[in-house]
Amino acid sequence: MKKVFRYVTAALPLALLLPLAAQTNPKEEGITRDQANQILDELRQIRQLLEKQNKPAGPPEPNKAKLNMTGAEMLGSKNAPLTMVEFTDYQCPFCQRFHTTVFNELKKNYIDTGKVRFYSRDLPLDSMHPNAMRAAEAARCAADQGQFWALRDIMGGNPGKLDLDSLIADAAGLKMNTASFRSCVESDKYKQAIQSDVLEAMKIGADGTPTFVIGRSTTDGVDGEVVVGAMPYEAFDKKLKSLSQ
């Protein structure tokens, strides 16, 4: 592109370069007709490039995801037309915010009314949250005794109390068999299943917790949009209402 500027003044606005170059008399400038055409062509390329760079960026396209939820813990009606999946880290303060400020409203208005079925998946960020993996295992061990959602509710509101002693005390409060519960948690029985959840979350572009997939229910899961972050209730409400139309 350097030779272009042998024939034009670099300080001129680009919008003026093409008309000026078009008026150039090749004989007066000592260049051939082919050289003049080449200059014009290069100027057009420069203008097109700058126009593309200066074009206002629109909103990013949302990530889409299809998930098979077979075997995952579900709350609500299996026949609900919409599905919401949460990838959670029980030690994450943003997950706590969602759990304590949004989840109950969603449950009352959408899950309990049969409009939405809600699934829980695991995304423990154990490099930052040393108790997150233990909590994920504890929730699954609680499921063995029919207390998944009850323990999940306790842990979701208390991310600072996920040490083993606290979890066993919570299990006792729920009338669980604490010996079986402790043995299950300490055995890493569900570690591989939790890691499979983490890998699936990474595949759909989950780069933080909580991450949600919200969309229309399918026979075995959901076909929807990936949403990252603990948004306010109004944002989830708007999204779910748009899907209901």
**pLDDT tens readout for residues 22-65:** 444 545 555 677 777 777 777 777 777 766 666 555 555 668 99
- Mean pLDDT, residues 163-171: 98
pLDDT at 42: 73
pLDDT at 12: 42
d(CA 190, CA 139): 10
Residue type, 39: I
What is the per-residue pLDDT across 74-118, written as a single tens digit (0 to 9) for each?
A: 999 999 999 999 999 999 999 999 999 999 999 999 999 999 999
Fold of 64-244: Glutaredoxin (3.40.30)
pLDDT at 8: 38
d(CA 149, CA 13): 65
Indicate whether 225 pLDDT > 90: yes
Distant-in-sequence, close-in-space partners of 20: CB < 8 Å, separation ≥ 6? 8, 12
Indicate whether 157 pLDDT > 90: yes
Banded pLDDT at 133 (limits 50, 70, 90) = very high
Banded pLDDT at 174 (limits 50, 70, 90) = very high
pLDDT at 44: 74
223: left (phi over 0), alpha (psi -120 to 50) or beta: beta
* Contact (Cβ atoms closer than 8 angstroms) between residue 125 and residue 132: yes
What is the per-residue pLDDT across 3-22, written as a single tens digit (0 to 9) for each?
A: 443 333 343 444 444 444 44
- Of the given ranges (1-5, 170-174, 178-182), which has the lowest mean pLDDT? 1-5
Banded pLDDT at 160 (limits 50, 70, 90) = very high
Q: Give 120-133 as a DSSP string.
A: EEE---TTT-TTHH
Q: In the numeric block, which tokens belong to residue 224?
A: 């929807």
- Of the given ranges (58-72, 107-121, 201-215), which has the lowest mean pLDDT? 58-72
pLDDT at 59: 56
* Contact (Cβ atoms closer than 8 angstroms) between residue 7 and residue 42: no
- Mean pLDDT, residues 152-169: 97
Which is more confidently placed, 220 or 58? 220
User: In the chain, pLDDT over 90 holds for what percent of residues?
Assistant: 72
Domain segments of the chain as ranges: 2-54, 64-244
Banded pLDDT at 243 (limits 50, 70, 90) = very high
Averaged pLDDT of the chain: 86
Indicate whether 1 pLDDT > 60: no
Using a CB cutoff of 8 Å and minimum separation of 24, what contacts does 17-25 make? 17/43, 17/46, 17/47, 18/43, 18/44, 18/47
Asked whether the CA dihedral 46, 47, 49, 50 is positive or negative, the reply is positive
Taking only Cα atoms into account, the Rg of the chain, rounded to an integer number of angstroms, comes to 29
d(CA 200, CA 182): 28
